[in-house]
């Protein structure tokens, strides 16, 4: 009976799936056409964007404005390069970039100034508000624009290369990096016919300049007290672009359009934080570890897989030490091995040590330009958390192995059943709410319906039972007394 009920349930499920697929089949047939239409629309939009970007700037057209507030890293690189592309394609006559930054990574700086130098519309950089600064890599970003402006009391400079902790580089490395940076600064200043020597000193001697000094030395183009003052000063100014075009700005009365970070930019900024990247790795390890130690839970495995993908995405923004990653992976392997080997937590302790050492190497010793580092306290705390979880699960596994079997045929032994029919000695019994075939032991005995029995062995789908200890003695067929 049990098998027949299961078969009917499976058949009903198959019919439901068949009906569901039949209902969706038209949608599946239309799916290629829908995707093709979307692709065609995207291609058309791409053509429109290219047409707009190649058009001549219209007088009094709007000006896009965005800001660089914070470190120059992979996230700000992505946002600013996308902002330049947006301004090129949305009909703006120029992009105004407000800057207030302590500097950052050389690789991100190089990508940003490359986008500035090759922009098809004029870019105006404005170090503002009063008291702000464009330090280190920020000075390059400021000067790479055709029009570089500073607010009163703003500062620019201090562009000497240092390592990620702010310390000096070795003499050989410093000479190599300075040589490249001096060449870049010279090329930028010559392109826009601005002073070269004082700008180069920002790299070679870490010189810094206030807005008035930078203006008088010819390092920048203008000094402006506000955005409206800036727009009035650049009105009518002619700018030569990388594509050979010469554009005359018409900024008086032009409207401003903000380009702000979107959800993707915010997420990407979060993923460039080494502390977040490390915690994603820990979350991935915990999720996959719990799924392997308790198969079928599903949710921890899904969370772990997603966290692992986000971790790999974030790692692409770093300059890591790959030996550290190998130790971090070893920590995960040791955790898994401790579940299946009788080490009683020794491998878990080893995995914690491997994780801590590996994380410190991976995130905090990847070279002089890796940017922000993981806080050691975060690493130590994650190690304690992972170690505690590992020891807890190992203890649970050991207890389960030493405890009695509670599932399968072995787990059925000794369980109580109730006779659904007289056992003569064969009949039917109820076990776990299901109807089972049973035979009474010894076979010379019989019991009535409703008798309580216990399972002594399992043979396929047949139970071997005997009278439960606390019930009345069995009724023998040859000892029935007559009244």
Q: What is the mean pLDDT of each run of 10 residues along the chain (483 residues)?
A: 43 41 40 47 42 42 91 88 92 93 88 94 93 91 95 89 56 80 93 94 92 94 93 91 88 88 77 84 86 80 88 77 86 83 80 89 59 78 85 72 61 84 89 88 85 87 81 47 40
Cβ burial, residue 375 (10 Å; 0-12/13-18/19+): middle
**Model confidence pLDDT, tens digit, residues 185-211:** 999 999 999 999 999 999 999 899 999
Q: Please, which residues have CB within 8 angstroms of residue 297's CB and are 6 or more apart in sequence?
A: 290, 291
Instruction: Identify whether the C-beta of residue 277 lies closer than 8 Å to the C-beta of residue 324.
Output: no
φ and ψ of 170, to 5 deg: -65, 160
Within 33-183, strands assigned E span 63-69, 94-100, 123-127, 133-135, 147-150, 155-157
The Cα–Cα gap between 337 and 342 comes to: 9
The Cα–Cα gap between 379 and 275 comes to: 9
Match 């995207």 to its residue by tokens.
42
Question: According to the model, what pLDDT value does residue 6 have?
Answer: 41
* Burial call 339-367: b when 16+ CB within 10 Å, e when fewer: beeeeeeebbebbbebbbbbbbbbbbebe
Question: According to the model, what pLDDT value does residue 1 have?
Answer: 42
Closest CA to 256 of 60, 123, 58, 64: 64
Closest CA to 454 of 408, 403, 405, 419: 419
The Cα–Cα gap between 359 and 353 comes to: 10
* Mean pLDDT over each residue of the chain, to the nearest integer: 79
Sign of CA dihedral 415, 416, 421, 426: positive
Question: According to the model, what pLDDT value does residue 185 have?
Answer: 93
Structure tokens at 79: 């946002």
* Burial call 406-430: b when 16+ CB within 10 Å, e when fewer: eeeeeebeeeebebeebbebebbbe
Instruction: Identify whether the C-beta of residue 269 lies closer than 8 Å to the C-beta of residue 74.
Output: no
DSSP label of 72: B
Q: What is the pTM of this model?
A: 0.57
What is the CB neighbour count within 10 angstroms for residue 146?
25
Instruction: Identify whether the C-beta of residue 455 lies closer than 8 Å to the C-beta of residue 412.
Output: yes
67 to 4, 72, 101, 330: CA distances (angstroms): 70, 12, 10, 43
Question: According to the model, what pLDDT value does residue 226 have?
Answer: 92
* Rg of the chain on CA atoms, in Å: 37
The Cα–Cα gap between 145 and 296 comes to: 57
Side-chain half-sphere CA neighbours of 149 within 13 A: 25
Question: According to the model, what pLDDT value does residue 154 have?
Answer: 94
Side-chain half-sphere CA neighbours of 301 within 13 A: 8
Alpha-carbon dihedral angle through residues 186, 189, 195, 198, given to the nearest 10 degrees: -50
The Cα–Cα gap between 27 and 213 comes to: 68
Side-chain half-sphere CA neighbours of 172 within 13 A: 0
């Amino acid at each position: 009976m049990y098998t027949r009920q299961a078969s009917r349930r499976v058949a009903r499920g198959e019919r439901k799936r068949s009906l569901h697929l039949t209902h969706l089949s038209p949608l599946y047939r239309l799916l290629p056409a829908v995707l093709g239409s979307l692709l065609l629309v995207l291609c058309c939009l791409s053509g429109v964007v290219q047409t707009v970007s190649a058009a001549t700037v219209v007088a009094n057209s709007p000006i896009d404005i965005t800001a660089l507030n914070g470190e120059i890293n992979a996230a700000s690189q992505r946002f600013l390069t996308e902002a330049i592309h947006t301004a090129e394609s949305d009909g703006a006559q120029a992009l105004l970039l407000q800057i207030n930054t302590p500097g950052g990574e050389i690789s991100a700086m190089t990508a940003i100034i490359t986008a500035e130098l090759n922009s098809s519309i004029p870019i105006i950089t404005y170090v503002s508000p009063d008291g702000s600064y464009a330090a280190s890599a920020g000075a390059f970003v400021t000067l790479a624009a055709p029009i570089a402006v500073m607010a009163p009391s703003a500062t620019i400079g201090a562009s000497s290369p240092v390592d990620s902790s702010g310390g000096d580089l070795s003499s050989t490395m410093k000479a190599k990096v300075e040589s490249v940076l001096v060449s870049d600064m010279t090329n930028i200043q010559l392109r826009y016919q601005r002073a070269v020597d004082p700008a180069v000193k920002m790299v070679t001697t870490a010189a810094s300049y206030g807005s008035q000094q930078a203006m008088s030395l010819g390092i920048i183009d203008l000094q402006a007290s506000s955005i409206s003052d800036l727009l009035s000063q650049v009105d009518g100014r002619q700018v030569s672009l990388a594509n050979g075009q010469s554009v005359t700005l018409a900024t008086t009365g032009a409207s401003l359009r903000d380009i702000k970070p979107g959800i993707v930019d915010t997420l990407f900024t979060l993923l460039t934080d080494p502390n977040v990247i490390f915690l994603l790795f820990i979350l991935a390890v915990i999720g996959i570890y719990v799924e392997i130690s308790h198969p079928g839970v599903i949710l921890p495995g899904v969370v772990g897989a997603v966290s692992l993908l986000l971790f790999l995405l974030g790692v692409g923004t770093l300059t890591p030490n790959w030996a550290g990653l190998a130790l971090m992976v070893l920590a995960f392997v040791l955790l898994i091995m401790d579940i299946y080997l009788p080490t009683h937590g020794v491998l878990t302790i080893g995995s914690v040590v491997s994780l801590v050492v590996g994380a410190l190497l991976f995130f905090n010793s990847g070279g002089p330009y890796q940017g922000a580092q993981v806080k050691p306290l975060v690493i130590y705390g994650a190690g304690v958390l992972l170690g505690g979880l590992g020891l807890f699960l190992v203890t649970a596994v050991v207890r389960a192995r030493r405890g009695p079997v509670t599932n399968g045929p072995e787990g059925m032994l000794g369980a109580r059943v109730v006779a659904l029919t007289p056992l003569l000695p064969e009949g039917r019994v109820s076990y776990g709410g299901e109807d089972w075939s049973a035979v009474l032991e010894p076979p010379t005995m019989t019991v009535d319906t409703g008798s309580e029995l216990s399972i002594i062995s399992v043979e396929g789908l047949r139970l071997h039972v005997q009278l439960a200890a606390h019930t009345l003695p069995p009724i023998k067929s040859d000892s029935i007394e007559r009244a």
